[in-house]
Chains A and B, each alone.
Chain A
């Protein structure tokens, strides 16, 4: 049973470009969480999605950031017009259900904005 997959593992973008981060949850998991780890800071919750629905986006910046989890395919975290402050490690986690909520983390995507 493969774990949570994230790609790319490393992503370099210039200011103003778009970044797309992908997360494939563990098999049988339909709940996905995105977290951000800024340099020298702790992890922060961004968004929680179930298939085709955003359930909680209280941690998402108001502008430039969006997330989706379509019926087919991976969850996508999209950052438009990236700025240097977006440089961080982005982790996704998945869980099989909302109530028990044991979360399994992916390896992360390290985004560097030049």
Chain B
């Protein structure tokens, strides 16, 4: 079982729809990241969270530490939001036994917003 699970794997929606992407993790973490990757492109860091909620433009990220769950929301979605969204966690050092400084990634959610 992967330490970081994302759902859905693929999501197609119409322009303007409200989008939710979910991330669950099974280990202790010190922070959770949401990343965006366009096809063949680089990786952009959207948010880093350790608690609560953050908002940037049309993007909102929330995290529930007790439930080990985070969500990324996109309001008023647009075709340019089409990308792969990746959840990544930084493991708490004591739990990890190595690789604590590097991130552990989910497999990503492929989002397509149709005009």
A56 and B100 form a contact (CB under 8 A): yes
Contact at A42–B33, with CB atoms within 8 Å?
no
Contact across chains for A42 and B42 when beta carbons are under 8 A apart: no
Stretch at the interface among B54-62, B66-74, B105-113: B105-113
Chain B positions 68-115 with a Cβ under 8 Å from a chain A Cβ? 86, 88, 90, 98-108
Instruction: Give the chain A neighbours of B40 by CB distance below 8 A.
Output: 110
The reply to whether B101 and A55 contact each other, CB–CB distance below 8 Å, is yes
A98 to B100, CA, bound (A): 10
Q: Is the interface of A mostly helix, strand, loop or mixed?
A: strand
**B105 CB contact (under 8 Å) in A43, A106, A110:** A43
Establish whether residues A43 and B86, one from each chain, have CB atoms under 8 Å apart when the complex forms: yes
Q: Is the CB of A46 within 8 A of B42?
A: no
Shortest B27–chain A CB gap in Å is: 14
A58 within 8 A of B: yes
In angstroms, Cα B64 to Cα A23, docked, is: 34
Give bound CA distance, A102 to B35, whole Å: 12
Pairwise interchain contact B105-A101, C-beta atoms closer than 8 A: no
Q: Is the CB of B42 within 8 A of A48?
A: no
CB-CB < 8 A to A106: which residues of B? 42
B41 at the binding interface (Cβ < 8 Å): yes
> What is the CB-to-nearest-CB distance from A8 to chain B, in angstroms, rounded to a whole number?
14
Would you call B86 and A107 a contact (CB within 8 A)? no
Once bound together, how far apart are the Cα atoms of A108 and B44, in whole Å? Answer: 11
B99 closest partner in A (C-beta)? A58
Q: Which of A31, A45, A47, A107 contacts B103 (CB 8 A)?
A: A45
Q: Which of A31, A41, A102 lies in contact with B45, CB distance below 8 A? A: A102
What are 30 A-B pairs with beta-carbon distances under 8 A?
Answer: A31-B101, A35-B103, A42-B86, A42-B105, A43-B86, A43-B88, A43-B105, A45-B99, A45-B104, A48-B102, A55-B101, A56-B98, A56-B99, A56-B100, A56-B102, A58-B102, A59-B99, A91-B43, A98-B101, A101-B30, A101-B31, A101-B90, A101-B101, A102-B45, A102-B48, A103-B33, A103-B103, A105-B44, A105-B45, A106-B42
